[in-house]
């Protein structure tokens, strides 16, 4: 069991916190290297400013890498790093937990409605 006073869960969550970070990571994990415009297209509700911010935060943590090509217009590609790939089982586990939690909450809501 994890010693509560030595718990690093909050540190890990602080890195992944952000509405779009898990979605960005899942796209890069499943599709490989993507250009900024491709990520923006795949996540249509994110603003350019927020996508840039969250990509920079993930890059600063060493989870993704950014490659800029010296051309006009600028071409920027993002790739998951080897270190970032270690998040795959964590994200998969969180997805499964989230799916199960949603099912439980829906059943609970149905049971409450039945009274």
pTM attached to this predicted model: 0.85
By residue range, what is the domain housing residue 67? 4-114
| Lateral strand order in the sheet of 34-35 | 34-35, 75-80, 64-69
CA distance 57 to 32: 19
pLDDT tens profile 66-108: 999 999 888 999 999 999 999 999 999 999 999 999 999 988 8
Asked if 64 and 55 touch (Cβ cutoff 8 Å), the reply is yes
Instruction: Give the number of domains in the chain.
Output: 1
Confidence of residue 115 (pLDDT cuts 50, 70, 90): low
Alpha carbon of residue 15 to chain centroid: 10
> Using one digit for the tens of pLDDT, what is the confidence trace for 12-50?
888 888 899 999 999 999 999 999 999 999 999 999 999
CATH code at position 33:
1.10.10.10
């Amino acid at each position: 069991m994890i010693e509560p006073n030595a718990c690093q869960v909050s540190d890990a969550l602080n890195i992944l916190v952000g509405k779009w970070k898990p979605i960005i990571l899942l796209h890069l994990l499943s599709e490989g290297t993507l250009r900024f415009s491709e990520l923006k297209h795949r996540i249509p509700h994110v603003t350019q400013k927020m996508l840039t911010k969250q990509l920079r935060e993930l890059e600063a943590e060493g989870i993704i890498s950014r490659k800029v090509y010296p051309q006009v217009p600028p071409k920027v590609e993002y790739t998951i790093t080897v270190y970032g790939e270690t998040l795959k089982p964590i994200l998969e586990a969180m997805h499964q937990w989230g799916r199960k939690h949603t099912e439980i909450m829906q059943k609970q809501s149905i049971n409450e409605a039945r009274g």
